[in-house]
């Protein structure tokens, strides 16, 4: 660093002093695609004279000699030397090196040149997921790779995304892909704590050939994340970001305002308690005659009452329950390398205030990645990351304790405070979510560490050994405080503090040996063999006590009496052996063979081990002598076939057990916990994939097309049993599922100018999901069904037939298709083809740069799925929830014979009831302007004057626009934070709303 | 040669992880089913587990709806719509339940039955003796008790059922592969009675009030025989349960039953314990929550029913209390307020009391034309309820009506009314004009009548079970 600063300052000195005999050499540095290279180093060989290229690749270097050599170098570029030879303009084109980001793909246990990949792998560069103010990096993967479908869980700060690689292959909760950071598998809780800016690159392994090396864990794809490594000269980066977030507006529906709601209640013959009291008071003081009620006072009197009521309420409850959120991040990173030492060091902190009242998520972390090349043939290193986070876990459920739900419960005309102006009004719901959030905090405190340590030795020319130890250690401490004096404490009759938490220790040790050799210059062979052992140890505790004297003390030693104290423990282990052979002939024909044997503690002794395999091949047609084309620049055909596996989510699901955790009369009790299934066996995927990579005109137009088929056999899922057994299900292998589809992506560099570049991109992924076989065909699920030939979770609902125009009653179809006014649960039918599975998705957009300005825009679209829209049902409700806030849509009710409307006669009290029918089952199609970024990088001349390498400002907008026909918010992940997840998007039920954000950022490099 | 040193180091590192890893991992808080019945202590754990099942949320006793559902379905309780409450159980009040609503009463019941069946399947491996007999007796009795309550929910009662009327499968094994069919109501009663009679000879007498004992089993038999209309056996079982001098709590003792005072234990045959640590407040919350110091009721006593409670009746102040919420006065049900010093609503579930058995016997006496004994039982009850009660001379229908009236007053909010109307083949007729307020104002019932023979007297089986198990057909009408 010091040397670097010295270099810089000497450079400035040189510039300032302005020697007379100086000769100015100028030029442009481009890469082998003709794109300008920024920040490339230009140096006069053997001297300290040098400079760095600007964003547009230009440089100018004053030299005092006519002869000499200039050395051009840059990150991931092959250095090049050019003799000055009396020239004053020297343009160079640098070749991108083999280990550069764009050309290398990290696969299981090894790195492979992109050109030699035989499988289907999507790469996402770190900058594509650089920090955005929504969710965590899993949500940021949305739209970044074909075949990788991501649904945001909710708008909670730090919420995960549900990632489905090539459809939902497993239907239990572990249908998430395996996520590996620097060689260690990490838990979904932990990856929300990763700093996206520390990510160098992400590979998504989508097909058998690339997955098989992960065997039993790869059934749902593998996401490999590598954290940043230092490269080149020391660089100090500082980034700052500030953003504002808002809950997305409901689409196509809106809540009634005070006047509308009062009108609706009036039409529904309801006098709410506020009006009732007002009228009683006016009767008491003689303003109204005795016997007055809402319906016999004059319209103007009524109107006055309504206006007065509305005037005492807040202008809009949504600003109170869902205030504007804020995001602030600071980050410093220092990185670099020399011959022996590579380092990357970063520190970051972020503060996020969520849009649900009282929610926040603050996080600080650091990372140190170092590698030391001790000897020519021996290196060792470590990648260390640690993050601390603290969040207020506000309630997210379907009742008035949750802020978002309350928006649909608390009437718009109800005041926030009582007349004293400070006490929260509990409203007609009997509870104030504001008071609850203030006085019943639930604070989650997490520390996650990610540690990888390795040593690698090349004893012989072609043979390398690597030993690696990985540890992912996560702790959580959760403190829930039902404070003395809080409303809920009064309702329950006690105050209580619960301290709960857990620690999860994942330990992986792996040893690999790699042999790489090329024979006769045409035959290249790589053999990888390895062994790996993974152990996870989980420990949890919970302590509760009551009788706290005051809210200001909250540790358990202040409590009046202890309530419960429990601990629990569980663990699992996996032992694996694997081997992989890759061969290529003259860079034309590639062959890749993989085998893996896994043993898992989650199965009974006779089902413990399973073998997985894959074969992949590629033909690089463009390298064939017979194939000469001026148009085509890339043409590669790939195909693979193989298997991968999955284990049950439960750790001991093969065992029938009695649990000892229940008590009766404060005495220990044994209760049947699980039905045994000694035959429970591995879920296996059999996949095949055919793909074509192509490029035209020097890859100015490039793309890829893939077709795949994934058959999941022996799906692991709870198998229903008759409830008369005292159980509802046991973990079993229930059948076979198929996902098949295709992926298509196009990328066009329309303009590759020195000052102007214009790029357009588009992608489309399609997936069809259906059961091929079910061992037991009668497998009803929540709102849905598993049936052969249909997608998983195909909806099973009663069918709504409209409102009877003659009498204003709801009409339904019977199972046989006849009309009836009686709802009967046995009239539910399978709604073929309608399931929550997303069928198609993709993105398109552009990135443009002109001199220092850059603009990028990305649209994301998704659809083909259906969603049970409970929020709409609760909000329109046919009068069932007339006492709560309602949607303006509810006005569309039957008033007179002949009306063709959506809702039943409001004044037929027997009709004030909603039932689950397809009336509220809606298509989930939408398109959103996911991201727009406008940036400006100051010219080098300005940056260098303030002693910077580069300086960039940007403004970024997220979800600025949505197009959908869905009523509400179409991106549905979890139903809410406290209803167990069945499958993402099956129904919505007031999860924290997804966000719109606008962010400003600065990025400075020294 | 330096390479060798590193090689040794690396190989050693590699081997350290190659040791034969132990993939045999077992849970820390569970035992394998095959190891669950090795010792008598294990059996005791399983018996406790069986009783613990009675507390299950959403099903029957402590954590369930049994203390309110029979009154919600009938004419004792009206939903608080003026308030209004959260709307829980409104579906039941409006008789609009579907296959999606009665899940807990079905699964909760069979879950307890499985626990009993597991004990019965394993108990024969133990040596003969008092321990074995008692365990077997408890399992048989508890199973029969739950089956009987389930049959009241899902089936017709014995006297109203024809030979072809079916009710729940009577499962006696732990086989997980069954897809059983319903059986005739009459056969079902025979199985319940056989289990209870068998249990009565086996079970002990020192299990304590929180578990079943011989008198409690006799009391349950009294109830089942009443529903069967077997008056002689009802009287015999009641006699056995009550003994020669029935322990009917007097006016001073009666309120103690509801605060779980040990002084009232003799008036309860069996109650499901709900300790301070269990902290299950569902029985209280079923009725109301306290908001801002005021009771916000879900359901309140109907206006006409509340009028039946007179001021000289100790039950009036024990069961019902007028209270204000949001400026309106309601007849709140305070029977499950809870124990002094414990959180609100945390209270034991009284499953069967001496007073019920006495009323069973009074009715059985009357029906078997022993009006004198019937009157004696009625007088015994009323003299322990009404201050300054002077024994009446009632006879004929007036006597029977008063027995029924006392039954309604005594067992209100305790899991009786709807089943009793069903047993007696009577409709539910609700007051259509008076509302939910204590003065009869407020919002009245929307749904006011359930005629005799209406399909909704039998609740629907869970639709998921019907969809899965083709042998179990849905009750008619759903």
pLDDT tens, residue by residue, A684-713: 989 999 999 999 988 899 999 999 999 999
- Give A389→chain B minimum CA distance, Å: 30
- CA atoms of A442 and A433, how far apart (whole Å): 13
Reply yes or no on whether the pLDDT at A72 is more than 90: no
pLDDT at A284: 92
Q: Does A916 touch chain B (CB under 8 A)?
A: yes
Proportion of chain B above pLDDT 90, given as a percent = 82
pLDDT at A12: 38
- Torsion over CA: A101, A105, A108, A111 (sign): negative
Reply yes or no on whether the pLDDT at B339 is more than 90: yes
- CA atoms of B425 and B229, how far apart (whole Å): 13
Reply yes or no on whether the pLDDT at B63 is more than 70: yes
- CA atoms of A111 and A108, how far apart (whole Å): 8
Region A18-37 average pLDDT: 72
Q: Among A230, A234, A229, which Cα is nearest to A5's? A: A234
Tell me the two tokens of residue A436.
């609850």
A-facing residues of B in 334-373 (CB < 8 A) are 338, 343-345
CB contact under 8 A, A670 and B48: yes
For testing contact with chain B, the best of A610, A723, A786, A884 (most B CBs within 10 A):
A723
Q: Does B4 touch chain A (CB under 8 A)?
A: no
What is the DSSP code (8-state) at residue A19? -
Please tell me which of the candidates A494, A725, A825 has its beta carbon nearest to residue B343. A494
Whether residue A622 contacts residue A589, with contact meaning beta carbons closer than 8 Å, is answered with no
Strands A222-227 and A178-181: parallel
Q: B371 vs A280, A1001, B221, B366, CA distance in Å?
A: 55, 92, 22, 5
pLDDT at A763: 95
* Tens-digit pLDDT profile for residues B360-406: 999 999 999 999 999 999 999 999 999 999 999 999 999 999 999 99
- CA atoms of A940 and A296, how far apart (whole Å): 78
* Tens-digit pLDDT profile for residues A234-266: 999 999 999 999 999 999 999 999 999 999 999
pLDDT at B11: 58
Q: Nearest chain A Cα to B100, which residue?
A: A825
A907: left (phi over 0), alpha (psi -120 to 50) or beta: alpha
* Tens-digit pLDDT profile for residues A719-735: 889 999 999 999 999 99
pLDDT at A432: 92
pLDDT at A574: 92
pLDDT at B72: 97
Region A68-79 average pLDDT: 79
- CA atoms of B322 and B300, how far apart (whole Å): 10
- CA atoms of A796 and A368, how far apart (whole Å): 52
A-facing residues of B in 397-456 (CB < 8 A) are 446-447
Q: Nearest chain B Cα to A375, which residue?
A: B3
Give the number of A-B residue pairs with CB atoms closer than 8 Å.
256
Contacts of B294 in chain A (CB under 8 A): none
Reply yes or no on whether the pLDDT at A492 is more than 90: no
Whether residue A835 contacts residue A850, with contact meaning beta carbons closer than 8 Å, is answered with no
* Tens-digit pLDDT profile for residues A258-296: 999 999 999 999 888 899 889 989 999 999 998 899 999
- As separate numbers, helices (DSSP H) first and strands (DSSP E) second, chain A gives 13, 53
pLDDT at A596: 93
Confidence of residue A11 (pLDDT cuts 50, 70, 90): very low
Region A460-474 average pLDDT: 90
Tell me the two tokens of residue B146.
């739950």
Reply yes or no on whether the pLDDT at A15 is more than 50: no
Confidence of residue A371 (pLDDT cuts 50, 70, 90): very high
pLDDT at B3: 58
B-facing residues of A in 672-711 (CB < 8 A) are 672-676
CB contact under 8 A, A672 and B114: yes
Q: B424 vs B159, B304, B363, CA distance in Å?
A: 9, 21, 12
- Give B304→chain A minimum CA distance, Å: 22
Confidence of residue A369 (pLDDT cuts 50, 70, 90): very high
pLDDT at A97: 60
Please tell me which of the candidates A657, A730, A916 has its beta carbon nearest to residue B27. A657
Reduced to 3 states, what is the DSSP secondary structure of residue A397?
Answer: coil
- Torsion over CA: A275, A276, A278, A279 (sign): positive
Average pLDDT, chain A: 89
Region A964-977 average pLDDT: 94
Reply yes or no on whether the pLDDT at A173 is more than 70: no
Region A209-219 average pLDDT: 84
Region B199-207 average pLDDT: 96
pLDDT at A133: 58
Tell me the two tokens of residue B21.
């890893």
Confidence of residue A168 (pLDDT cuts 50, 70, 90): confident
CB contact under 8 A, A722 and B465: yes
CB contact under 8 A, A674 and B30: yes
Region A452-473 average pLDDT: 90
Q: Which residues contact A420 (CB under 8 A, 6 or more apart)?
A: none
- CA atoms of B81 and B288, how far apart (whole Å): 13
pLDDT at A197: 84
Confidence of residue A134 (pLDDT cuts 50, 70, 90): low
CB contact under 8 A, B176 and A668: no
Q: Does B177 touch chain A (CB under 8 A)?
A: yes
Q: Which helix (H) or strand (E) holds B254?
A: helix B254-257
pLDDT at A7: 42
pLDDT at A88: 83
Whether residue A769 contacts residue A711, with contact meaning beta carbons closer than 8 Å, is answered with no
Residue A443's φ and ψ, nearest 5 degrees, are -105, 125
End-to-end CA distance of chain B: 85
Q: Among B352, B465, B317, B298, which Cα is nearest to A726's? A: B465
pLDDT at B10: 57
Q: Does B380 touch chain A (CB under 8 A)?
A: no
Q: Does A723 touch chain B (CB under 8 A)?
A: yes
Proportion of chain A above pLDDT 90, given as a percent = 60
Highest mean pLDDT among A90-104, A514-528, A771-785: A514-528
* Tens-digit pLDDT profile for residues A818-861: 999 999 888 999 999 999 999 999 999 999 999 889 999 999 99
CB contact under 8 A, B468 and A377: no
* DSSP secondary structure string for all residues of B371-437: HHHHHHHHHHHHHTTBTT-------HHHHHHHHHHHHHHHSTTSS-HHHHHHHTT--EE--SS--SS
Q: Does A291 touch chain B (CB under 8 A)?
A: no
Confidence of residue A886 (pLDDT cuts 50, 70, 90): very high
Q: Which residues contact B214 (CB under 8 A, 6 or more apart)?
A: B200, B203, B204, B205
pLDDT at A778: 65
pTM of this prediction? 0.87
Region B326-336 average pLDDT: 92
Region A156-178 average pLDDT: 82
* Tens-digit pLDDT profile for residues A193-206: 888 888 888 888 98
Confidence of residue A8 (pLDDT cuts 50, 70, 90): very low
* Tens-digit pLDDT profile for residues B231-260: 999 999 999 999 999 999 999 999 999 999
Average pLDDT, chain B: 92
Segment among A72-81, A310-319, A924-933 with least mean pLDDT: A72-81
Tell me the two tokens of residue A522.
């045409």
Reply yes or no on whether the pLDDT at A457 is more than 50: yes
Please tell me which of the candidates B21, B32, B477 has its beta carbon nearest to residue A655. B32
Contacts of A280 in chain B (CB under 8 A): 327
Q: Nearest chain A Cα to B51, which residue?
A: A664
Region B265-286 average pLDDT: 94
Q: Which residue has the higher pLDDT, A106 or A478?
A: A478
- CA atoms of A786 and A976, how far apart (whole Å): 23
pLDDT at A1: 43
CB contact under 8 A, A671 and B49: yes
Q: Which residues contact A246 (CB under 8 A, 6 or more apart)?
A: A322, A324, A325, A355, A995, A996, A997
- Give A995→chain B minimum CA distance, Å: 30
B-facing residues of A in 597-656 (CB < 8 A) are 599-601, 605, 608, 651-652, 655-656
Q: Does B113 touch chain A (CB under 8 A)?
A: yes
* Tens-digit pLDDT profile for residues B146-183: 999 999 999 999 999 999 999 999 999 999 999 999 99
Q: Nearest chain B Cα to A272, which residue?
A: B82
Q: A933 vs A239, A930, A957, B369, CA distance in Å?
A: 16, 10, 6, 92
Indicate the length of chain B as a whole number: 478
- CA atoms of A702 and B335, how far apart (whole Å): 76
* Tens-digit pLDDT profile for residues A759-800: 999 999 999 999 999 988 667 888 999 999 999 999 999 999
Confidence of residue A136 (pLDDT cuts 50, 70, 90): low
Reply yes or no on whether the pLDDT at A4 is more than 50: no
Confidence of residue A167 (pLDDT cuts 50, 70, 90): confident
What is the DSSP code (8-state) at residue B270? E
| ipTM for the predicted complex | 0.93
Region A920-940 average pLDDT: 93
């Amino acid at each position: 660093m010091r040397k670097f600063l010295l270099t810089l300052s000497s450079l400035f000195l040189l510039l300032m002093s302005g020697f007379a005999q100086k000769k100015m050499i100028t030029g442009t540095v481009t890469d082998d695609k003709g794109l300008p290279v920024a920040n490339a180093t230009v140096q006069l060989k053997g001297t300290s004279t040098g400079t760095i290229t600007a964003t547009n690749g230009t440089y100018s270097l004053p030299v005092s000699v006519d002869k000499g050599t200039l050395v051009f170098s840059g990150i991931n570029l092959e250095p090049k030397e050019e003799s000055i030879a009396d020239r004053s303009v020297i343009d160079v084109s640098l070749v991108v090196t083999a280990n550069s980001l764009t050309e290398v793909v990290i696969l299981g246990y090894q790195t492979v040149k992109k050109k030699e990949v035989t499988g289907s792998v999507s790469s996402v560069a770190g900058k594509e997921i650089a920090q955005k103010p929504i969710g965590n990096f899993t949500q940021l993967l949305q739209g970044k790779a074909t075949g990788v479908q991501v649904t945001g869980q909710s708008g909670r700060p730090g919420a995960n995304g549900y990632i489905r690689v090539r459809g939902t292959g497993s239907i239990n909760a572990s249908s998430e892909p395996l996520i590996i950071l620097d060689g260690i598998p990490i838990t979904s809780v932990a990856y929300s704590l990763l700093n996206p800016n520390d990510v160098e690159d992400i590979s998504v392994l989508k097909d058998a050939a690339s997955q098989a090396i992960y065997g039993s864990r790869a059934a749902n794809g593998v996401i490999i994340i590598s954290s940043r490594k230092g490269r080149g000269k020391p660089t100090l980066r500082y980034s700052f970001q500030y953003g504002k977030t808002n809950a997305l507006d409901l689409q196509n529906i809106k809540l009634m305002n005070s006047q509308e709601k009062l009108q609706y209640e009036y039409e529904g013959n309801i006098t709410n308690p506020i009006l009732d009291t007002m009228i009683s008071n006016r009767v008491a003081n003689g303003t109204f005659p005795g016997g007055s009620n809402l319906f016999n006072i004059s319209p103007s009197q009524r109107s006055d009452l309504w206006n007065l009521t509305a005037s005492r309420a807040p202008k809009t409850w949504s600003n109170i329950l869902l205030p504007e959120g804020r995001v602030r991040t600071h980050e410093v990173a220092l990185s670099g390398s020399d011959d022996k030492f590579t380092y990357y060091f970063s520190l970051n902190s972020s503060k996020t205030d969520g849009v649900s009242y009282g929610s926040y998520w603050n996080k600080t972390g650091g990372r140190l990645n170092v590698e030391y090349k001790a000897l020519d043939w021996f290196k060792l290193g470590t990648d260390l990351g640690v993050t601390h986070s603290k969040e207020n876990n506000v309630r997210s459920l379907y009742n008035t304790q949750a802020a978002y739900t309350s928006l649909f419960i608390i009437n718009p005309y109800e005041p926030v405070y009582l007349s004293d102006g400070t006490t929260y009004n509990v409203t007609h719901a009997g509870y104030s979510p504001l008071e609850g959030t203030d006085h019943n905090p639930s604070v989650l405190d997490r520390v996650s560490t990610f540690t990888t340590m390795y040593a690698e030795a090349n004893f012989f020319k072609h043979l390398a050994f690597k030993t690696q130890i990985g540890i992912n250690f996560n702790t959580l401490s959760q403190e829930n405080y039902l404070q003395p004096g809080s409303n809920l404490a009064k309702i329950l009759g006690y105050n209580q503090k619960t301290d709960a938490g857990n620690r999860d220790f994942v330990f992986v040790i792996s040893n690999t040996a790699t042999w790489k050799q090329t024979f006769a210059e045409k035959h290249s062979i790589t053999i990888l063999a390895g062994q790996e052992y993974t152990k996870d140890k989980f420990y949890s505790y919970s302590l509760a006590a009551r009788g706290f004297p005051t809210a200001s003390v909250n540790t358990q030693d202040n409590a009046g009496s202890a309530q419960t104290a429990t601990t629990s423990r569980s663990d699992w282990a996996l032992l694996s052996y694997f081997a992989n052979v890759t061969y290529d002939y003259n860079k034309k024909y590639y062959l890749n063979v993989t085998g893996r044997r896994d043993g898992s503690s989650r199965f009974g002794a006779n089902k413990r081990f399973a073998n997985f395999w894959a074969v992949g091949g590629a033909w690089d047609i463009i390298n064939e002598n017979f194939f000469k084309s001026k148009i085509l620049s890339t043409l590669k055909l790939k195909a693979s076939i193989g298997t991968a596996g999955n284990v049950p989510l439960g750790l001991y699901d093969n065992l029938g057990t009695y649990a000892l955790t229940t008590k009766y009369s404060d005495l220990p009790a044994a209760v049947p916990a699980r039905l045994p299934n000694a035959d429970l066996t591995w879920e296996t995927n059999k996949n095949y994939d055919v793909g074509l990579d192509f490029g035209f005109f020097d890859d100015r137009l490039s793309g890829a097309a893939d077709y795949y088929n994934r058959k999941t056999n022996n799906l692991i899922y709870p198998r229903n049993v008759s409830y008369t057994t005292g159980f509802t299900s046991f973990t079993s292998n229930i059948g076979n599922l198929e996902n098949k589809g295709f992926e298509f992506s196009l990328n066009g560099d329309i303009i590759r100018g020195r000052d102007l570049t214009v790029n357009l991109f588009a992608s489309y992924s399609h997936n069809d999901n259906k059961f091929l076989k079910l061992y037991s065909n009668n497998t009803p699920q929540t709102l849905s069904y598993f049936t052969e030939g249909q997608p998983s979770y195909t909806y099973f609902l009663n069918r709504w037939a409209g409102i009877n125009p003659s009498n204003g009653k709801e009409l339904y179809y019977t199972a046989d298709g006849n009309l009836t006014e009686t709802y009967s649960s046995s009239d539910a039918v399978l709604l073929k083809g309608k399931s929550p599975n997303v069928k198609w998705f993709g993105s398109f957009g552009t990135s443009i740069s002109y001199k220092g300005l850059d603009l990028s825009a990305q649209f994301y679209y998704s659809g083909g799925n259906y969603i049970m829209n409970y929020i709409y049902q609760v909000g329109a409700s046919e009068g069932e929830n007339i006492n709560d806030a309602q949607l303006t849509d509810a006005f569309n009710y039957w008033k007179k014979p002949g009306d063709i409307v959506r809702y039943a006669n409001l004044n037929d009290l027997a009709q004030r009831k909603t039932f689950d029918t397809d009336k509220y089952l809606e298509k989930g199609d939408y398109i959103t302007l996911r991201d727009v970024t406008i940036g400006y990088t100051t010219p080098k001349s300005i940056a260098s004057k303030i002693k910077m390498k580069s300086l960039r400002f940007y403004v970024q907008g997220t979800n600025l626009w949505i197009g959908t026909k869905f009523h509400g918010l179409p991106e549905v992940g979890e139903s809410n934070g406290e209803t167990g997840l069945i499958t993402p998007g099956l129904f919505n039920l007031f999860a924290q709303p997804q966000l719109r954000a606008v962010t400003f950022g600065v990025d400075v490099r020294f | 040669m330096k390479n060798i040193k590193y090689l040794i180091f690396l190989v050693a590192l590699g081997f350290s992880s190659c040791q034969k890893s132990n993939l045999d991992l077992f849970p820390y808080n569970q035992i394998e089913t095959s190891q669950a019945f090795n010792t008598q202590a294990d059996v005791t754990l399983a018996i406790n587990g069986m009783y613990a099942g009675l507390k299950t949320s959403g099903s029957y006793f402590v954590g369930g709806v049994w203390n309110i559902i029979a009154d919600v379905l009938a004419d004792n309780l009206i939903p608080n719509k003026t308030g209004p409450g959260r709307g829980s159980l409104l579906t039941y009040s409006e008789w609009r339940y579907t296959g999606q609503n009665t899940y807990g009463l079905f699964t909760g019941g069979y879950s307890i039955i499985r626990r009993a069946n597991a004990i019965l399947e394993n108990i024969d491996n133990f040596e003969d003796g008092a321990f074995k007999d008692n365990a077997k007796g408890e399992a048989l009795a508890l199973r029969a008790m739950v089956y009987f309550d389930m049959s009241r929910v899902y089936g017709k009662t014995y006297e109203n059922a024809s030979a072809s009327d079916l009710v729940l499968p009577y499962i006696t094994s732990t086989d997980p592969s069954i897809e059983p069919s319903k059986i005739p109501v009459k056969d079902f009663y025979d199985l319940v009675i056989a289990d209870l009679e068998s249990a009565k000879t086996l079970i002990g007498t020192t299990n304590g009030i929180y578990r079943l004992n011989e008198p409690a089993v006799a009391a349950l038999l009294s109830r089942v025989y009443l529903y069967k209309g077997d008056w002689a056996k009802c009287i015999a079982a009641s006699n056995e349960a009550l003994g020669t001098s029935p322990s009917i709590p007097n006016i001073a003792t009666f309120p103690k039953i509801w605060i779980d005072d040990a002084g009232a234990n003799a008036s309860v045959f069996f109650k499901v314990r709900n300790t301070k640590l269990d902290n299950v407040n569902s029985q209280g919350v079923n009725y109301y929550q306290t908001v801002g110091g005021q009771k916000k009721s879900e359901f309140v006593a109907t206006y006409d029913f509340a009028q039946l409670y007179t001021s000289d009746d100790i039950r009036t102040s024990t069961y019902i209390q007028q209270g204000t919420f949001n400026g309106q006065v309601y007849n709140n049900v305070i029977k499950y307020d809870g124990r002094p010093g414990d959180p609100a609503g945390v209270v034991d579930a009284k499953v069967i009391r001496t007073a019920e058995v006495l009323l069973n016997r009074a009715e059985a006496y009357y029906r078997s034309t022993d009006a004198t004994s019937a009157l004696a039982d009625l007088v015994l009850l009323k003299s322990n309820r009404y201050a300054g009660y002077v024994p009446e001379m009632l006879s004929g229908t007036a006597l029977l009506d008063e027995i029924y009236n006392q039954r309604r007053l005594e067992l209100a909010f305790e899991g009786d009314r709807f089943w009793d109307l069903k047993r007696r083949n009577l409709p539910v007729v609700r007051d259509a004009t008076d509302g939910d307020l204590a003065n009869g104002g407020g919002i009245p019932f929307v749904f006011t009548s359930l005629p005799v023979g209406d399909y909704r007297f039998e609740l629907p089986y869970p639709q998921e079970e019907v969809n899965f198990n083709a042998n179990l057909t849905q009750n008619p009408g759903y």
